[in-house]
Amino acid sequence: MSSHLRTGTEATPSGSGEENTIKGTVEGHDGGGRLGSVFWTSLGISALFVAWAVLFTDNLNKVTNTSLNWVTATFGWSYLVVTLGILVFLVFLAFSPAGDIRLGKDSDRPEFSTLSWFAMILSAVMGIGLVSYGVAEPISHLATPPHGLAEPNTPAAAVRALQYSYFDWGLQAWAIFAVFGLAIAYSTHRKGRRTLVSQMFEPLLGDRVNGPIGKAIDVLAVFATLFGTTTSLGLGALQVNNGLGRLFGMPVNSVSQVLIIAAVTSVFTLSAVTGVSKGIKLLSQGSTLLAIALFVFMLVVGPTVFLANLYIESVGQWATDFFRMSLQGTAFGGLEWMQWWTYFMMAWWVSWGAFVGVFLARISRGRTIRGFIMGVLVVPSVVFFTWFTVFGGTAIHIDMFEGGDIAKQTAADINSAFFATLDHFPLAGLTSAIAIILVVMFFVSGADANTYVLSMMTSDGSLTPRRSVLILWGVLTGVTAVVLMLAGGLNALQNTVIVTSLPFLVIIAGLAVSFWKELRADRKEKTDAAH
């Protein structure tokens, strides 16, 4: 995936090739970039965090647990309000006259075909979460329906299970990515600014974006991205360990998980440093093809007619309840459930915002604002809904009608859900092996691109960060994932990503305001010039 960040191998001769993209994005900012206060501050605080986790593990757990409870109880509602607000803003923008503006010069046209563009968007985020949660979330909701909206293990619970999975992985998540991608694409391709989050606040803060406030914004962006990546790394290690345990009897414990993280970290760091764009590009395409193959297999051998009916009913329920779900707080309880699911998912999306935003901006030069918003919001959401229905719906069918115990296995170990479902079908060994390979491929291509974006953000927006910086962030990402895994496994990962993403949520809200202010000013200028 990161190949699309760095190379223009797929570019069509549309007059907006890679050379122009780089020139238009960071003119005068090559040669590895300047290592300023953002780099040293980010590095220093990251190192302190790692030292804290290693030397005072119990204290870290206590502080993150207390912080989590305070953050979610006090500000949990803000995740719901901000993400819904951004979604409404984007839909309004798409249907406003501003929707015709191109991300780049007026003469620019899209660099990639629409089909390639969709494939790249999906490869960016399809990743580990689909295997980690494709079965785990729906089957967990079947056994413990969200907010007590149905009796456990009933048809009503099955519909609610998918409805809430759609909510956690649907429009709100993609709205966060879309607003970031739009703002970065507009700022870099149309305005010629550096690829830094702080630069997008120029319409709101003016020259102060080059001072301490701008630096603070960039440091927060680095942190959110770092912890979003480590959470994915941790989840990936848990998945791979569980799969290898089932297939080859590998012990499922922290030693195995640390070894897996170490192995994958060395691969993606090496790949980020050598810029093996062809290898990563092949990895992205290969993982997409494997995911499609696994999906088609499950659709064929699974309860297809049941899945089709469940899909229609669940989408209907999701659409009917959309605004209620979007603003369902915890005034009358349910905080723990929200921490484990909705708040964690929202925080995870927020922490991935800068990374996915940079990626979307890189591949979307020349598209109109309207085309960008509709493409980024609608297509991935439909793909995610379908994936969750086929895998989660199949697990639901097994538990409800075939005497299965997938929900029980998931409650004991959430990472066993996907493999427990595959066990009920032919070629379970082969499909489980494919699922493990899929996780590793998503793992490497996602972490490689994340390492690149972290290095870029700490190198003054340079598109060619120096090798030492790439190695440093690659290693630091792996080390942070390891210390969090040892500190408390999945729980520690979830707590940390929620706590560290809250300040960044404020930045995303500010980003939307800044982007709107700039759009209005530019349109007014254009109108005045026409008169």
| Stretch 173-187: mean pLDDT | 94
- Confidence at residue 324, expressed as pLDDT on a 0 to 100 scale: 95
DSSP 340-351: HTHHHHHHHHHH
Contact partners, residue 459, CB within 8 Å, separation at least 6: 32, 33, 34, 35, 39, 465, 466, 469
| pLDDT at residue 189 tops 80 | yes
- Confidence at residue 13, expressed as pLDDT on a 0 to 100 scale: 25
Residue pLDDT, tens place only, 223-240:
889 988 898 888 889 999
DSSP bridge partners of 368 = 102
Whole-number average pLDDT of the chain? 87
3-state DSSP of 162-175 = HHHHHHHHCHHHHH
Residue 215 parent element (H or E): helix 212-248
Label residue 235 exposed, middle or buried (CB < 10 Å: 0-12, 13-18, 19+): buried
> For residues 490 and 113, which has the higher predicted lDDT (pLDDT)?
113
Cα separation of 523 and 525, whole Å?
5
Distance of CA 29 to the CA centre of its chain: 27
Q: How confident is the model at residue 17 (pLDDT cuts 50, 70, 90)?
A: very low
CB 369 within 8 A of CB 93: yes
- Confidence at residue 289, expressed as pLDDT on a 0 to 100 scale: 87
Whether residue 372 is contained in a domain is answered as: yes
- Confidence at residue 528, expressed as pLDDT on a 0 to 100 scale: 78
Whether residue 106 is contained in a domain is answered as: yes
Whether residue 187 is contained in a domain is answered as: yes
CB 325 within 8 A of CB 79: no
Whether residue 12 is contained in a domain is answered as: no
Residue pLDDT, tens place only, 243-286:
999 999 999 998 999 999 999 999 888 877 876 556 666 777 78
Whether residue 31 is contained in a domain is answered as: no
CATH of the domain at 153: 1.20.1740
Whether residue 38 is contained in a domain is answered as: no
Tell me 328's DSSP state. Answer: -
- Confidence at residue 280, expressed as pLDDT on a 0 to 100 scale: 61
DSSP 410-425: HHH-GGGHHHHHHTTS
- Confidence at residue 33, expressed as pLDDT on a 0 to 100 scale: 63
Cα separation of 344 and 352, whole Å?
12
Whether residue 326 is contained in a domain is answered as: yes
- The domain tally of the chain equals 1
| pLDDT at residue 294 tops 80 | yes
User: By percentage, how much of the chain surpasses pLDDT 70?
Assistant: 91
CB 318 within 8 A of CB 149: no
Phi and psi at 465, nearest 5°, equal -65, 150
- Confidence at residue 232, expressed as pLDDT on a 0 to 100 scale: 86
CB 444 within 8 A of CB 271: yes
Whether residue 315 is contained in a domain is answered as: yes
Residue pLDDT, tens place only, 119-165:
778 766 666 778 889 999 999 999 999 999 999 999 999 999 999 99
Task: Quote the pTM value.
Answer: 0.89
Helix/strand/coil for 196: coil
Tell me 154's DSSP state. Answer: S
Residue range(s) defining the domain that contains residue 516? 2-6+55-530
Residue pLDDT, tens place only, 87-101:
999 999 999 999 999
Cα separation of 450 and 44, whole Å?
19
Gyration radius (Cα) of the chain, Å: 22
